[in-house]
Structure 1
Amino acid sequence: MSDVAEQRLVRQWHDLLALHAAVSGTLETRLQEEHGLGVTEFEALEALARNETGQCRGADLTEVVHLSQSATSRLVARLEREGLAERSMCESDRRGIFVTLTDAGRERYRQAKPTHRAVLAQLLSPSGKAVAVR
């Protein structure tokens, strides 16, 4: 790899990191201020809301939110304390846990979704570069 190609590759990597930090930080701030949710809580609610049954296996939720199993368990516990989700045992496999969206969780997701999408629209341009943050 030439020095120029290597520099371009590293610059792309740093641009990606900067974009991720800008979007994640703004999402975290806006969702918390306006809806009392963190980014991972929102992503979990969205995964549940997109499922026709409003339910998914805990292991599947772990993949969606990109957390460890124990961190996802703590996330679900926070959602339960706030009345946004409930856990139940899988009838066919007692080791499996299902996470189900409550009516309050569906409503909080519905209210937070426009904020989430507005931040994405504000910070992501077609060229993939971050635009000015408010």
Structure 2
Amino acid sequence: MVRKKSERALVDEWRGILALHASTLCELDRALHPHGLGASDFEVLDVLAEGAAEDGGSAYRVQELADRVHLSQSALSRLVGRLEKDGLVHRGMCSEDRRGVRVGLTDAGRARHTEVRPLQRAVLARMLADRTGE
């Protein structure tokens, strides 16, 4: 009997995490849409703005970026293509491996990130406070 309760609690906790993730993404998408961004778009800009790539530079290899934003390489490539078309990021060949591609912020991308970051952080604070009861 104890095992069933423990298993049920585990499943309920997992479903709670999934629900929080889904509702937070929806809130982020709604808040960021007027600025021409979605939650994943902003996450890419945010990681690039942190400028702490493994090599210490500010441009990330696509695979490194995919690992940080938890997207497949193909989904990230499409997203980066849209951000590049909008002038927010640039792509270039990786100097140490000509097969690789690096992605970095443009000045417009840095400005958009700076503009939208407080909004994104406010949504996160509100959504996560609801979960923790703060």
Give the partner amino acid of 2:30: T
The match for 2:50 is 50
For 2:132 and 2:100, locate their aligned partners in 1 and report how far apart those are by CA, in whole Å.
39
Which is richer in helix?
2
Secondary structure class of the residue paired with 1:67: coil
TM norm structure 2: 0.88
1:12-33 CA deviation, whole Å, 9 max, x = no partner?
A: 1111111111111101111112
Equivalent of 1:117 in 89, 110, 121: 121
1:67 aligns with 2:71: yes
The match for 2:7 is 6
TM norm structure 1: 0.88
1:35-62 CA deviation, whole Å, 9 max, x = no partner?
A: 1101111011011110154311111111
Give the partner amino acid of 2:11: V
In structure 1, the gaps of 5 or more residues are: none
Alignment check: 8 A CA contact 1:43 1:64 kept: no
The match for 1:19 is 20
Alignment check: 8 A CA contact 2:61 2:101 kept: yes
In structure 2, the gaps of 5 or more residues are: none
1:45-85 CA deviation, whole Å, 9 max, x = no partner?
A: 01111015431111111112211111111111001100000
Identical-residue share of aligned pairs (%): 47
For 1:65 and 1:127, locate their aligned partners in 2 and report how far apart those are by CA, in whole Å.
22
Equivalent of 1:83 in 73, 82, 87: 87
Offset of residue 102 of structure 1? 0.1
Offset of residue 127 of structure 1? 5.5
